[in-house]
Amino acid sequence: MRALVIEDDRILSNAICSNIGGNFEYQQAFDGEEGIYMAEQNIYDVIVLDIMMPQRDGYNVLSSIREKGIKTPVIMLTAKDGIDDKVKSFKLGADDYLVKPFHRQELLVRLESLVRRSGGELRENILRFKRLILNLSNRSARVGDEELTFPGKQFDVLEYLIRNQNTILTKKQIFNRIWGFESDTTMTVVDVYTSNIRKILKNSGYGKYIKTVRGVGYMITDNGDDDE
Instruction: Compute the residue count for the chain.
Output: 228
What pLDDT shows up at residue 197? 96
Structural domains for the chain: 2-117 (3.40.50.2300), 126-220 (1.10.10.10)
pLDDT in tens, 3-22: 999 999 999 999 999 988 88
Count other C-beta atoms under 10 Å from residue 202's C-beta.
14
Q: Which residues pair with 96 in a beta bridge?
A: 75
Query: What is the strand order of the sheet 132-135 is part of?
Result: 126-129, 132-135, 140-143, 146-148
> In the predicted model, is pLDDT for residue 228 greater than 50?
no
Q: Which residues pair with 25 in a beta bridge?
A: 2
pLDDT in tens, 58-69: 999 999 999 998
What pLDDT shows up at residue 97? 94
